Amino acid sequence: MISTLAFLFPHTALGKITLYPLNREFGEAWSALPSYGDAKNGKPRRPPYAGLASALSAVSGQPVVLMPHCYGVVDDEFAQPAVAVTTRPFDPWILSTAVRDWERCVRKGEDANTLAPLLTAADVEHPNLSTYVRGAEHGTPHAPSWFYRVAAWNFAQRLARTPLPVPNGPRMRHIRWRMDTQGSLISWENITKRTTQKPKRSGYALHKLDFRVVTQPGEPLFALHVLPTFSRLATHWASTRTVFIEHSTHKETLLRMPIGHTKNSDGQWVPYARNYAAEVLEACGMDFAAWPTNDDLAALKGQMRALVPAPVPHVLGKGVGTRFNKILADHINETIKRPRIIQVSFEPTGVELTRPTKGAVTRADLDHALAATGSETVRIIALYNDGTTRRRMAEALAPYTNTPDRLLDCGDHDDHHLSERLIVRFHRLPALDRAERVDWDDELAFLDQFADGALNGAWVETIWNPKPTKRERETGQHRHDHKRDLRRALYERNIVSQFLARQAPPEPDDTAEAESDAETEVPKDYKAINALRDLLFRLGSVDDRLRHVTDLTDEPILVGIHLRQQRISNRRPGAADRTQMVEILTALHTHNDPDRPWHMDSYDHSTHDWRPQAAAEAAFGQHAIGREGHARHEEGALLARQHIESALKILPTDRPLIIFVDTEACRTIWPGLQNVRFGKGPLPGDDLRTPTRSVSVIAINTSYGEVPTPVENTASPRKNPKRPPKPQERLYQRTTSTGHTSWYIAQASRTYDGFGNAGSIGGVHTRFTLPADDWALQRKDWHSFTATQITVPHAGKRDPQQLAALAAQLCHQSLAWDARTRHPVPLHVAGAMDRAHPEYRGPSIEPTNAPEAGETRDGE
């Protein structure tokens, strides 16, 4: 059995809240507020409810939510009516003064005072949260949107009353928690510190417990997910966005505040409190904490602690480790007893997950796998400038020659046949070493000679390193990363690509040592080997490893639907306010004939056709990454659904379909994926089902906040009494009281399983109790177990557990990786295409005016 960090709690355990119902007049007054921008030079915008809620949290020292009161999806944040919810009633004078001054700030000094009289006149209610729950008897509990934010507050307050006992040898170390104004628990007095000597610097971090109330498929009770994080603290103000402040009036509460940055009279960048929190505190007669200097932050002085703004180099790693999760889960079970909560757990099924095939495609299977590309000839174009990189590429290709133990011997600028289908050509490209931008259309003109019908893929050396060298830092140089521009230029030539980072040259002592020990076996260059595997994967190579772990006698098409919303990012006015929907569809065609390899197609939106994977990826990379007008809600969701359904309709109609979707990304497009309407609302492929054609839908959820975090495998014997046993390689399940079953696969990371003591240190110790001799391991990331949850909203003509087992097996046995992937192969391939696009989380390509196939201008 797998225990988790999720807990079901009876509705009577939800407790009471303080609620201010806001009438229509309040909504009208709010709509009359002018646009404002407290981000100094930011674009003025309509004031969000969260702005006032943040200011009220600052003066009250308690969490506050101001949101619409509705049970459906909130498309309009300002829908009426609204409610203000908190833990205790506000002091009337504080409430009136705070709201009035906040409105005055929004109105740039005008004292209109339209909101405060309406808010203070509201009849304060103290209802039980359980009165807002609907549908529990049918296994579909749901509540107003604000409910999910506030339901965890009472739980967090109860948990904070009892310190967390952490075993520390024969003694116990007790960790005291303090609640912040977002409802999280912070180990404020228990900071982890690590200091390095070269360079001389110190880093700090604290433990934070976030709580998220969610529903589980078919479960009548709400589930509370506990999400521990190791939050690293900034040692300077640059780019910081969030700060914790020890409240001067409410000592037991920490104020979590968004911050911005502006220049002072001396031209220096300094932080300021967003949402006019400092001005509101001053109006209420409260002192705002003095902003610490950078030196104070670096020494952890003062009442403020800022979070690091993004993944940055830090002397402390990330993650709390599996032992901390186990201690925390036991503590919650011991602390919250009345009413009794139920720890969510999953029972093992009889389905064992196997991975009989590991490693790269073998030479014996190479041509068979390359036949899946749909091309008679596949050419790898190896672009390099460093001789060592060329040698690494040649060594990785050697196993595909007739002499796998010898280095591949071939010159540049000529095709060299490795097998009947695979050829390679090396080409030195000095432009790869340029620090400035390159005209890749000119540099890659030599590729125009390849018009022989072969499928081309580029294996490209890259030297860009996100960490500048000491010389580059001292001279202020910034090396341009060519990967986005180069990948786009290759896509324009219908060439997919994979990059290989250049190795740093060995130190002289290392070279001498290697020469003196000739008998030492040379370690494998896994980075080069894996890069070659990824390139073959992108070209559409599929060997029989998937066929060996599945039993699909009716030859279904396995479809993956990958959706993601991304902002448009360019210099056009208003572009940042628009979003686009990334829509990638893949189709893995299965066959019973062993002489026919399975093959992967992807949907080309520009031609409205399904094309071989490499051709479809190249076409995808030539256009904007997403589709404007498509969105997650309302008309945009309907457009996305109709577009995807039209793509599914042109797949072969004589084959059954098994459709894999990402639950979190797709459930607003197809409401039948939502727990409240599970299997009863619209689903992908609804229009394709016939009495003779099966269309199954499998939903895959990998969301950290929704999928219960695995704690331990309680059925396994403990080799180490401290270390929680890891999950087995099998499918787990959980059936609710309403008879609904969901499935679950959990795993330890490869880092946790390997790398000796450094990989699994978080399973034996906590960061609070790590021995001094091992303190340097604080710099490592401490991995926890991860999981994927599988549900079947529509089984078609198949057994639901067999579908869940198929999804699990297609995660466990991947195409180009020797470990488990988070998504089954069709979804994994779609996600890889998204991440390879030149616009992925980056600047947008200017849209063209040419209509796509099937579209017309001016309604023609």
Arithmetic mean of pLDDT, 5-11: 94
Judge contact between 657 and 648, C-beta under 8 A. Answer: yes
Q: Judge whether 833 and 602 are in contact, CB under 8 Å.
A: yes
Q: What are residue 348's DSSP bridge partners?
A: 732
Two structure tokens written together for 363: 């030479």
Distance from C-alpha of 748 to C-alpha of 727, rounded to nearest angstrom:
7
Residue type at 422?
Answer: L
**Average model confidence (pLDDT) for the chain?**
89
Q: What angle do CA 332, 335, 340 make, to 5 degrees?
A: 85
Residue 83 has pLDDT above 60, yes or no: yes
Is residue 355 over pLDDT 50? yes
Would you say the pTM of this structure is higher than 0.85? yes
Structure confidence by residue, pLDDT tens digits, 828-843: 999 999 999 999 988 7
C-beta atoms surrounding 822 within 10 Å: 16
> Phi then psi for 134, rounded to 5 degrees?
-125, 155
| Mean pLDDT of all residues in 346-374 | 94
**How many beta carbons lie within 10 A of that of residue 753, not counting itself?**
13
Write down the H helix ranges in 463-559. 470-475, 483-492, 508-516, 526-539, 545-548
Listing from the earlier edge strand, what are the strands of the sheet with 422-428? Answer: 416-417, 422-428, 378-384, 455-462, 496-501
Cα-only R_g, the chain: 29
Given a cut of 90, whether residue 495 has pLDDT beyond it is yes
Residue of 855 and 821 predicted with greater confidence: 821
Question: What pairing do the DSSP bridges indicate for beta strands 557-567 and 422-428?
Answer: unpaired
Q: How far is CA 709 from CA 165, 212, 761, in A?
A: 21, 12, 19
Distance CA 183, CA 54 (A): 13
Beta strand pairing call for 657-662 and 557-567: parallel
β-strand pairing of 378-384 with 455-462: parallel
CA distance 816 to 779: 30
Of 183, 229, 225, nearest to 205 by C-alpha is 229
Torsion of CA 416, 417, 422, 423, to 10 degrees: 10
**Tokens at 456, concatenated:** 């081309």
Contact 32, 114 (CB under 8 A): yes
Phi and psi (nearest 5°) for 76?
-115, 110
Q: How confident is the model at residue 521 (pLDDT cuts 50, 70, 90)?
A: low
**pLDDT tens column, 538-592:** 999 999 999 999 999 999 999 999 999 998 876 554 545 678 999 999 999 999 9
Instruction: Answer for the pair 127, 183: CB distance below 8 angstroms, yes or no.
Output: no
Mean pLDDT over residues 88-113, rounded? 95
Confirm if 276 and 106 have CB atoms less than 8 A apart: yes
Per-residue burial over 167-192, b if 16 or more Cβ lie within 10 Å, else e, is eeeeeeeebebbbbbbbbbbbbebeb
- Alpha-carbon gap, residue 533 to 423, rounded angstroms: 15
Q: What is the pLDDT of residues 712-732, one digit of tens each?
A: 998 877 677 778 988 999 999
Q: Which of 787, 800, 796 is nearest to 744 (CA)?
A: 787
Amino acid at 519: E
Residue 185 bridge partners (DSSP): 179, 209
What ranges do the domains of the chain cover?
Answer: 11-132, 363-506+522-537, 552-704+786-836
Nearest to 284 by CA among 144, 499, 423, 91: 91
Residues 816, 530: Cα–Cα separation, whole Å: 8
Q: Which two tokens stand for residue 679?
A: 């299997």
**CA-to-CA dists, residue 566 to 395, 577, 581, 702, 844, angstroms:** 40, 11, 6, 19, 10
Measured N-to-C along each axis, helices 526-539 and 387-397 cross at an angle, to the nearest 10 degrees, of 70
If DSSP codes are grouped into helix, strand and coil, which group holds residue 416?
A: strand
User: In the numeric block, which tokens belong to residue 277?
Assistant: 């929190």
- Pair 369, 597: CB distance under 8 Å: yes
Place of tokens 């331990």: 712
CA angle 444, 452, 616 (to 5 degrees): 70
Among 426, 369, 372, 370, which residue's Cα sits nearest to residue 397?
Answer: 426
Average pLDDT for residues 368-394, to the nearest whole number? 96
pLDDT score for 848: 40
314 token code pair? 């830090």
Phi first, then psi, for residue 753 (nearest 5°) are -75, -25
Question: Which fold is adopted by the domain 552-704+786-836?
Answer: Nucleotidyltransferase; domain 5 (3.30.420)
Confidence (pLDDT) at 39:
60
Indicate the pairing of strand 557-567 with strand 579-589.
antiparallel
pLDDT given at position 728? 92
Structural contact between residues 118 and 99, judged by C-beta atoms closer than 8 angstroms? no
Reported as a single tens digit per residue, the pLDDT across 762-818 is: 999 999 999 999 999 999 999 999 999 999 999 999 999 999 999 999 999 998 888
Q: CB–CB of 192/768 below 8 Å?
A: yes
The percentage of residues in the chain with a pLDDT greater than 70, rounded to a whole number, is 91
pLDDT the model gives residue 849 = 42
Residues with Cβ within 8 Å of residue 564, at least 6 apart in sequence: 581, 582, 665, 834
3-state SS string over 274-338?
Answer: HHHHHHHHHHCCCCCCCCCCHHHHHHCCCCEEEECCCCCCCCCCCCCCHHHHHHHHHHHHHHCCC
Range 495-501 average pLDDT? 96
CB 372 within 8 A of CB 544: no
Band of pLDDT at residue 850, cut at 50, 70 and 90: very low
- Residue at 356: amino acid letter: P
Q: For the residues 512-532, what does the mean pLDDT come to?
A: 70
Backbone angles phi, psi at 587, to 5 degrees: -140, 115
Nearest-angstrom CA–CA distance, 675 and 697:
15
User: If you count them, how many residues does the chain have?
Assistant: 860
Q: Three-state SS for 461?
A: strand
What is residue 26's DSSP assignment?
Answer: H
Q: What is the pLDDT of residue 40?
A: 58
Cross-strand partners of 602: 586, 611
C-beta of residue 163 within 8 angstroms of C-beta of residue 177: yes
CA atoms within 13 A on the CB side of 522: 10
> In 3-state terms, what secondary structure has residue 402?
coil
Q: Which residue do the tokens 């294996």 mark?
A: 459
β-pair type (253-263, 242-246): antiparallel
- Top-confidence residue, 608 or 262: 608
Which pLDDT band, with edges at 50, 70 and 90, does 41 fall under? low
Q: DSSP for 57-91, please give it.
A: HHHHSS-EEEEE--SS--SSTT-SSEEEEESSPPP
The two tokens of residue 135 are 């549908």
**Strand, coil or helix: what is 661?**
strand
Q: 363-506+522-537 is classed in which CATH architecture? A: 3-Layer(aba) Sandwich (3.40)
Q: Confirm if 597 and 542 have CB atoms less than 8 A apart.
A: yes
Which of the two residues, 661 and 201, has the higher pLDDT score? Answer: 661
Q: What local confidence, expressed as pLDDT, does residue 376 receive?
A: 95
Angle between helices 613-622 and 526-539 (to 10 degrees): 90
CA distances from 682 to 332, 562, 667, 797, 799 (A): 39, 17, 10, 18, 21
pLDDT for the residue numbered 464? 67
3-state secondary structure 786-801: EEEEEEEEECCCCCHH
For residues 309-326, give the mean pLDDT: 91
pLDDT above 90 covers a percentage of the chain that reads: 71
Q: What residues contact 291, with CB distance under 8 A and at least 6 apart?
A: 270, 271, 304
**pLDDT value of residue 522:** 66
How do strand 185-186 and strand 192-196 relate by DSSP bridges?
A: unpaired
Q: Quick check: do 363-506+522-537 and 552-704+786-836 share a fold?
A: no
Residue 826, classed as helix, strand or coil, is helix
Which pLDDT value is given to residue 715?
84
